[in-house]
Amino acid sequence: MSRRSEEKRAERADRLAEEAAWRAGSDGRPAAFDPSWTGTTAGSGAGKSEKGAEGRSAARKEKPSRPRKELYVPPRGWYGPGGGRVGYMDPPTMWRATTVQACGMWPFTAGSGSPMTGVPLGQHLFTGATVCGDPLNWFTRARYISNPSLFMLGMPGLGKSTLVNRMLIGLSATGVVPLVLGDLKPDYADTVRALGGQVISIGRGRGGINVLDPGAMGAAAVRIGGEAGEVLKAETHGRVLNMVAALVTIVRGRPMDDHEQSVLSAVLHHLRERSVPGRPALLPDLLRVLTEGPDRVRAVTLDRGDDTRYRDAVDPLHRSLLGILDGPLGGTFASETSTRIDPDAPAVCIDISGIGEADTQLTAAAMLAAWSDGLGTVAASHALADAGLAPRRWFFTVLDELWRPLRAASGIVDRIDALTRLNRSLGLGDAKITHTLKDAEALGTDSDRAKARGFVERAGMVVCAGLPKAEMEELGKVVGLSRREIELVSSWSSPPGWGVTGEHEEPPGRGRFLIKVGGRPGIPIKVAITDAERELHNTNTRWTPDESAVEQSVARAAAQVARTAQAGPEALPGRWTA
C-alpha cells in the first residue's frame, strides 16, 4: 500500500473515532473532556446544582447512569482549532551499512524481503531495501532461475547498458570473465580496459579476423592431445565450416546448398592436412584449392572425371568466395587475425564501433566472426579444465543493441537462438539488450520472428525499463505482467517536464527497472551510479561539450567584439547607409 493510501486510511479512522467520542457527550463536548462527569448525564444539572436527596433522585429518574468511558485521543490530535492536529512528517534520512559496521550503533537488525544474492543493483523503489541479482548467481547459487540468461527491453537513454555494465563489473570481481562480443557504440571498451582486460578493434583499417584460424580451440586441441584432442579438432573444423558458410549466406542473402557445404568441408580438410603448423590457412587459399581441384574435393562433386561437371558444381561457391574477397568484407576477413583473444584475459571486448551503421553486411559478418572466435575460446577453456590442465572459469557475454545484428542477416538469428539454448552446457551466462518486441517483428521471415520472440520466453530474467503502455501489454502476454506493473513501467517512459530554469532535468524513468522472474511479482528498483561508473560508461560522449573548444569560441567572440569597438560603428558588418 502506498504512503498516500495509508494516510487517507488513518485520517478516516481518526475522524470516525473523534465523531464517536463527540457523540458520547450531550452538551456538544467530548464526554472525556467533561470535568463534572460522575456517571450521570453530563450537562443535565443533576448532581451539580442540586444539594439534597431530591435532586439526586430526580436526576436518576431523568436518565439512567452509564459506565465511564476511557479517554480517547486520536494519535495525531483533534481536528479543529486548539485540537493539536499534527500532519505527516517527512521520513528521516536513512543510512546503510553492513551488520559488521553498524552493529554497535544499531544492534537491532531485520531481514529484507528483496533478493540479496548476486551483484548489488540498486534499491527497491518502494521499500528502499537493497536488491542484488545477476543471471549467473541467480542460476548457480540462489536457484531462482533455470536458465542463466537475461533479456532487457526499454526506450533509449534510460540506463539499460548502465545496469548491465554494473553486472559486468560485479561479476568480474567474483572471477567471472565478461565477453562483449561485438561492442557497437562502444559502451563497454573503457570498462574492460579498467578491469585490465583486452580490447580488440575490428573494421576497415582497424583490424581483422581470419575466419579459418582455429584460434584458442586449435591450440587447446594440440595441448590436450589424444582422443580428447581429436574430438576438439573435429569441433574446431565444424566451427570454421559454419563461419565460412555464414559469410557466404551474408553475401548471397540466402543459405548455401547442401552439396556446396560438402565441397567446402572437403576443401577445409584438404587445407588442414597440408597447412604448416602455426600458420593457418586464409580465404584466398580456399579459392586456390577450388581452382586446382584435388581428388578429395572432386570426389564429393560427383564429377566422374569430367572437368565440366566439376566446374558446374563448384563455380557458384567460387563466385561467392570471390564476392567475399573482392566485396565489402574482403579487407576484414581475407588476412591474418590482427589480434587473437587472450584465453587468460580477465575480460574481453571486441570493438566494432568503427563500422558504419549503414554497412549492415560488414556489421553482421563482424559480429558472427566475433561470436565464433569468442565462443571458441569458451569451449577451449572448458576442454582444458575437463582435462585438468586449467582451472574452471565461467563467462558472461553481453549482446547489446540486439536489433542491429538481427536485421543484418538471417544467420544471426540462428546463432543467437543456438546460444540461448546451449548456454547452460557452455558454462556461459548472457545478457541481451534491445528496445522493444517490435524489433523482432521487423525480421524478414516468420521463422526468424518466431525465433526472436523465443529469446524472451526462454530468458531466466526479464528486465524492463520505460516502455509505452501498448508495448507493455504485448510483453505481458509473454512474461505475465499485472495491471499495476504495466502502469508502473509505462509511467517511466514519459519524457521530462519542461525546464523553466534552464537546468538539465532527467527523464522520470532513468535508472528505474522492473525485474521479472517467471510468475513471481516484479521487483522495481532504482539504480544510482557512482562517479567511477559515470566516467567509464557514458553513452553520450559525442554530445558532451568540449570545455576547451567552448573557451576558444568565447575568446574568439570577445576578440571580435574588441576589434569592432576599436574600428567604430562604420566597421559593423551589414551596416546600411543611405
Q: What is the CATH number of the domain that holds 412?
A: 3.40.50.300
Residue type, 241: L
Residue 414's φ and ψ, nearest 5 degrees, are -65, -40
Query: Is the same domain home to 344 and 491?
Result: yes
Does some domain include residue 63?
Answer: no
Taking the C-alpha atoms of residue 354 and residue 186, their distance in angstroms, rounded to an integer, is 9
What tens digit of pLDDT does each residue of 268-313 get? Answer: 999 988 887 778 889 899 999 999 999 999 999 988 888 899 999 9
Q: How many Å apart are CA 329 and CA 208, to the nearest integer?
A: 10
Phi-psi region of 465 (alpha: psi -120 to 50; beta: other; left: phi over 0): beta
pLDDT tens-place values along the chain, 578 residues long: 556 666 677 777 777 766 666 555 544 444 444 444 444 443 444 444 444 445 444 444 454 444 544 556 676 777 777 777 777 666 667 777 777 777 777 666 655 578 889 999 999 998 888 899 999 999 999 999 988 999 999 988 888 989 999 999 999 999 999 999 888 888 899 999 999 999 999 988 888 889 899 889 999 999 999 999 998 999 889 888 888 888 888 888 777 888 898 999 999 999 988 887 778 889 899 999 999 999 999 999 988 888 899 999 999 999 998 888 887 776 788 888 888 999 899 999 999 988 877 788 888 888 888 888 888 899 899 999 999 999 999 999 998 877 776 766 665 677 666 656 655 667 789 898 888 877 777 676 777 777 777 788 888 899 999 999 988 988 888 888 999 999 999 999 877 767 555 556 678 888 999 999 988 889 999 998 888 888 886 665 555 555 555 566 667 767 776 776 676 555 544 444 43
Q: Are residues 525 and 440 in the same domain?
A: yes
> Which residues, in sequence order, are bridge partners of residue 27?
none
Q: Count of CB atoms within 10 A of residue 371's CB?
A: 23
Residue 307 in contact with residue 270, Cβ under 8 Å? no
- 277-314: burial string, b at 16+ Cβ within 10 Å, e else: eeebbbbebbbebbeeeeeebbebbebeeeeeebeebb
Look up residue 281 and give its three cell numbers: 590457412
Answer whether residue 178 is part of any domain: yes
Q: From 337, 368, 397, give the residue that closes a domain.
A: 337
Domain assignment of residue 258, yes or no: yes
- Does 155 map to a domain? yes
> In angstroms, how far is CA 253 from the centroid of its own chain?
31
Tell me the β-bridge partners of 183.
Answer: 351
18 located within any domain: no
Q: Provide the angle, in degrees to the nearest 10, between the axes of the packed helices 283-292 and 307-326.
A: 160
* Cα angle: 218, vertex 223, 228; to 5 degrees: 80
Q: Same domain, yes or no, for 343 and 481?
A: yes
Q: What are phi and psi of 515, to 5 degrees?
A: -100, 125
| Residue of 435, 483, 430 lying closest to 458 (CA atoms) | 430
Query: Do residues 157 and 197 share a domain?
Result: yes
Tell which residue, 3, 117, 97, 95, has the closest CA to residue 515.
Answer: 117
Number of domains in the chain: 2
Q: Is the same domain home to 468 and 411?
A: yes
Whether residue 19 is contained in a domain is answered as no
Backbone torsion region of residue 175, taken as left when φ is above 0, otherwise alpha when ψ lies between -120 and 50, otherwise beta: left
Q: Cα–Cα distance between 121 and 304 in angstroms, integer? A: 66
314, 418: one domain: no
Packing angle, helices 410-422 and 226-252, rounded to 10: 150
284 and 402 housed in the same domain: no
Q: Are residues 442 and 376 in the same domain?
A: yes
Q: Which of 86, 152, 168, 73 is nearest to 119 (CA)?
A: 168
Cis amide bond preceding 569, omega within 30: no
Domain final residue pick, 337, 352, 369: 337
Residues 515 and 368 in one domain: yes
Q: Where are the alpha helices (DSSP H) in 306-424?
A: 307-326, 330-333, 360-386, 403-408, 410-422
What is the amino acid identity at position 257?
Answer: D
From residue 441, how far is each of 416, 445, 448, 452, 473 by CA, in Å? 16, 9, 9, 9, 16
What pLDDT, on the 0 to 100 scale, is given for residue 423?
A: 56
Residue 43 lies in a domain: no
Dist. CA 371–CA 554, nearest whole Å:
48
Question: Do both 400 and 388 map to the same domain?
Answer: yes
Within-domain flag for 168 = yes
3-class secondary-structure state, position 321: helix
> Which strand (E) or helix (H) includes residue 146?
none
Do 348 and 483 share a domain, yes or no?
Answer: yes
Domain of residue 275: give its range.
211-337
| Residue range 67-112, pLDDT digits in tens | 544 556 676 777 777 777 777 666 667 777 777 777 777 666 655 5
Residues in Cβ contact with 318 at an 8 Å cutoff, skipping those fewer than 6 apart: 287, 290, 291
- Residue pair 162/509 in contact (Cβ under 8 Å)? The answer is no
395 has which bridge partners? 177, 428
Letter for the amino acid at 330? G
Query: CA-CA distance, 11 to 5, in Å (whole number)?
Result: 10
- Cα–Cα distance measured from residue 561 to residue 31, given in angstroms and rounded to the nearest whole number: 83
Amino acid symbol at 407? R
> DSSP strand E in 400-540: where?
428-434, 461-464, 512-516, 523-526
- Of the residues 337, 366, 382, the one at which a domain ends: 337
Shared domain for 195 and 221, answered yes or no, is no
- DSSP, collapsed to helix, strand or coil, labels residue 485 as helix
pLDDT tens digits along 46-66: 444 444 445 444 444 454 444
Residue type, 188: Y
CA distance 372 to 380: 12
Q: ∠ CA 201-203-206 to the nearest 5 degrees?
A: 60
